[in-house]
Structure 1
Amino acid sequence: MASLLFLLFLAVFSSAALFLIRRARYRRLRLPPGSLGLPFIGETLQLISAYKSENPEPFIDHRVTRYGPIFTTHVFGEPTVFSADPETNRFILLNEGKLFDCSYPGSISNLLGKHSLLLMKGSLHKRMHSLTMSFANSTIIKDHLLVDIDRLIRLNLDSWTDRVLLMEEAKKITFELTVKQLMSFDPGEWTEFLRKEYVMVIEGFFTLPLPLFSTTYRRAIKARTKVAEALTLIVRERRSDTEKRSDMLGALMASGDHFSDEQIVDFMLALLVAGYETTSTIMTLAVKFLTENPLALAQLKVRTHARTHILRSSCSRLFSEEHEEIRSKKDDPEASVEWSDYKSMAFTQCVVNETLRMANIIGGIFRRATTDINIKGGYTIPKGWKVFASFRAVHLNTDYFKDARTFNPWRWQNKSEAGSPGNVYTPFGGGPRLCPGYELARVVLSVFLHRMVTRFSWVPAEEDKLVYFPTTRTQKRYPIIVKRRDESTPCRVL
């Protein structure tokens, strides 16, 4: 008993001494101003509460007003420096692998696997990132992927009738596109099985990574095992197959790096997550924002000479000005979208830019300081601390974008805002970990909008709100009522 008490006393004494030593060191280092909140919990509950609402901005707004654009807080069990400053954000992005390392919650790391692109570091990450970008650049999209993008989008839209859960449909599209790009599989029973298991894997990302205490995490681990087993079978079949395929799996096997089955499976699993979750959300929110902004939807749908009359009559359910012109040039309205069609979608690109800015699917990135780091204002980030570079705080800051919290695609026709510095507009991150699929995401969204506005009229089935935790999404998966259009259908509102 005495020895047990002694060990307990020693543990408490050591913890207290370590805490005091750290506090003294932090005082010497001149931390950014802020509050660490409650012991252990910090300000995590305030952060989660804000991001579960439609308006998470006050969490950062209040602290920026009080402390400035760089402040200290304590979230998810660790002291963290938040940056709402574009120069500091750029500094963090560009010093990936030098002063900062990527850092993700244990639940995400465990479910993605140690060989995923998100967790790779050093020269291996550089090689794999470059390989991924080579399969999603404009030349590959133009010559190989565009036809599949258009075909799979049309295939999914063919099944739409009456009430549609837009976010669910968008996720089916992006998952099928990603599977096609990675492994050359067309939609079928196998891909649908894989997608359903994937949904359960993603649900476990923001849970306590303890199977004993979290049913969701336990279910996610089981689903992850099923996905890994299914992908492993494909990898083994392809190793014994003499036929060469121009997909990501084929490139991995031909790279000369002699990757193991486990490495390839982890790598593909993470890419499926990236393609599935982010692009589908952007597709949904682009439609939601346009639907809530009749002027933008009217410009997207109406020829210039008719626009004034249409706006006066509040009729915004016409073919897009751009997309009608694309369609009018084709003998068959269902003919494949070509690269020249995509490049002609000028206002659509404004809509894409504004959706990315407003939606902030990647709201920011967590990194961990690998050494004591001096940053703007003479502050120091201590070694081992987390930092959060908030892209959302910059995108929604009126210092950089006029009426920043209003959806306004026309701002991207304004030279001052369209020419924003690279550290101000960062929807795809930046630096060595720039999202390798940024161009692919833009093409998928553009083709999807083209097919949707030329095929359907729609209205929301019911009110739906945005929430931002654990990921950006609509509460009800954005249900809409769709009515299939006909080329001769007159202008009318559903």
Structure 2
Amino acid sequence: MLGFLVIVLLTLLLPTILLFLSSSGWSHSRRRGAPSAPPGNTGWPLIGETVAFLKSHPSPSIGDFLIQRVSRFGNVFTSNLFGQRTVVSTDVQLNRSILLNELRAFGPGWPRSMLRVLGRYTIVAQAGDDHKCSRSIIVNFLSSARLQAVFLQGVDRVSTAILGSWKEKGVVSVRVETKKFAFGVIAKAILGMEPNNTETDKLQREFDIFSQGLMSLPLMFPGTAYWNSLKARSNILNVIRQKRKERINRMRDGRTDVEDDLLTWTLENTNFTEEQTGDLLLGFLLGGHDTTAKVIALAIYYLDGCPKALEQMRVFNESLRLGNIAKYVQRMAVKDFQYKEHVIPQGFSVMAALSAVHMDPSLFEDPKQFNPWRWKGPSGIKKSNNFMAFGGGSRLCPGAELVKLEFAVFFHHLITNYRWELVEPDHPINRPFVDFAGGLHIKIHTLKN
């Protein structure tokens, strides 16, 4: 019986094993005479230390994985994550070099299993002119003028509708409500879909399944998060494909009621194929929804009804820093890279642990304390090279200003209409994306006048 179960398990895991073996970490052969990587541990065959890396931990911390390995090997060490030999850095200077040395030393390096979900034309996998082209599309679409002229009214309308519904509820799940708000805004911005209708709600359910499997173990059999994520990707792309077809027909007919969204913008300003368009929009859907929903939820959690700290952009920065929504970024060394006594060999994946920078007591005083006043500058928001929530260099998040706009509008309506308190204790957990185990339920108190 035991032998039979082993055979069944190996059969189910075969696609996963093949996926790991095909990843760069196992296909890369060391050059003769190549320098050695920093010290570390490769863990188990195939899966390496991925399970330990993905282990849940409180969001305002770097987690046991980093704590234990930094203590043993130092701020730069080698591991095996997602089937790739990976140099992990918790060093602020090295992390800054990783972000700023695009192409000269580092290229795209996200796990191949993740890129299979995002698509081969996703912006995070692109380099050089391809990346510049995709990024310029989003940057121009989200220009300052368009944010004020096109997006502000829509963001205001969605936030007013979401928050207006709270008056009748008394108790709400912040996780549910902020996701609904952020998805309503981004679905309208990308595909012209109206918030709070059946089609949009269905797409959001697919998106939730899609995002849950992004950083899961790539187990290629039914029922796993990774398998479900691939299925959800296909369903989302079917919606984008249908919308694209309808939009092309309307534009060909000379219709003037074409939506001013990213889909139309892409059709008018590029020669992208259906696949390229789908991957671009899917990636923007992920980036434009996830950060917004989580930073609002974190701010509500940290403030817990206290209006004293409500200078919005200070709260925004501090929630991003302490919540560690952007836990790390990954690159690939395109050549041997020397940093102090360390050499990152060509072909190795490189992980810049941004959370380690944000939680470094030498950079941020009392880093585990929520302190928006640390961002108070002489004439506005204090800037810091150690704040890396939106990445840096040529891969600085192109949607950062839209996220700030959504946060500012939502919080304006929130604090002018309500005070709130937690219904029960809840805490942000990184698993590996930030979430609230209990859904962050709050009791609402409507303000008079």
1:237 to 246, 253, 261: 246
Residues 25-424 of structure 1: pairs in structure 2 closer than 5 A? 29-49=35-55, 51=57, 55-160=61-166, 161-187=169-195, 188-212=197-221, 214-241=223-250, 242=254, 243=256, 244-255=258-269, 257-291=270-304, 294=306, 297-300=307-310, 347-375=311-339, 377-413=340-376, 419=382, 421-422=384-385, 424=386
The offset of 1:58, in angstroms, is 4.0
- Structure 1 residues 291 and 267, CA gap change in structure 2 (3 angstroms): same
Question: Which one-letter code corresponds to 2:434 in the other structure?
Answer: T
Contact 1:208–1:214 (Cα < 8 Å) also in 2: no
Deviations 1:304-338 (A, max 9, x none): xxxxxxxxxxxxxxxxxxxxxxxxxxxxxxxxxxx
Cα shift readout 1:23-62 (whole Å, capped 9, x = no counterpart): 8968x62432333345545433432335478744443234
Q: Deviations over 1:133-185 (max 9, x none)?
A: 12223222122211111111001112221221111111111111111111233
Change (3 A) 1:178 1:22: closer
5+ residue gaps, structure 2 = 1-25
Please tell me whether the aligned partners of residues 103 and 368 of structure 1 are also in contact (alpha carbons under 8 angstroms).
yes
Alignment gaps of 5+ in structure 1:
1-18, 301-346, 488-494
Q: Are the structure 2 counterparts of residues 405 and 414 from structure 1 closer, same or farther at C-alpha, using a change threshold of 3 Å?
A: farther
TM-score by length of 2: 0.85
The worse-fitting range, judged by mean Cα deviation, of 34-43 and 119-128 is: 34-43
1:414 is displaced (CA, Å) by 5.1
- Of 379, 383, 399, which residue of structure 2 is paired with 1:437? 399
1:462 aligns with 2:424: yes
Q: Aligned pair in 2 of structure 1 residues 47, 227: CA closer, same or farther (>3 Å)?
A: closer
Distance 1:60 1:102 in 2: 22
Seen in structure 2, the aligned counterparts of structure 1 residues 455 and 403 have a Cα distance that, compared at 3 Å, is: same
Matched residue type, 1:72: T
Whether the 8 Å contact between 2:56 and 2:432 is mirrored in structure 1 is no
Query: Greater shift after overlay, 214-223 or 132-141?
Result: 214-223
Larger radius of gyration: 1
In structure 2, do the counterparts of structure 1 residues 41 and 180 end up closer, same or farther at CA, with 3 Å as the change threshold?
closer
CA 1:164/1:217 → structure 2, altered by over 3 Å: closer, same or farther? Answer: same
Q: Distance in 2 between matches of 1:61 and 1:211?
A: 31
Q: CA deviation at 1:122?
A: 2.1
Separation in 1, partners of 2:278, 2:243: 9
* CA distance 1:214–1:237, change in 2 (3 Å): same
CA separation of 1:24/1:45 partners in 2, compared to 1, >3 Å: closer, same or farther? Answer: same
> Taking structure 1 as reference, are residues 162 and 211 closer, same or farther at Cα in structure 2, changes over 3 Å only?
same
Number of paired residues?
A: 415
Identity of aligned residues (%): 32
Amino acid at match of 1:202: S
The root-mean-square deviation of aligned C-alpha atoms, in Å, is 2.6
TM-score, normalised with respect to structure 1: 0.78
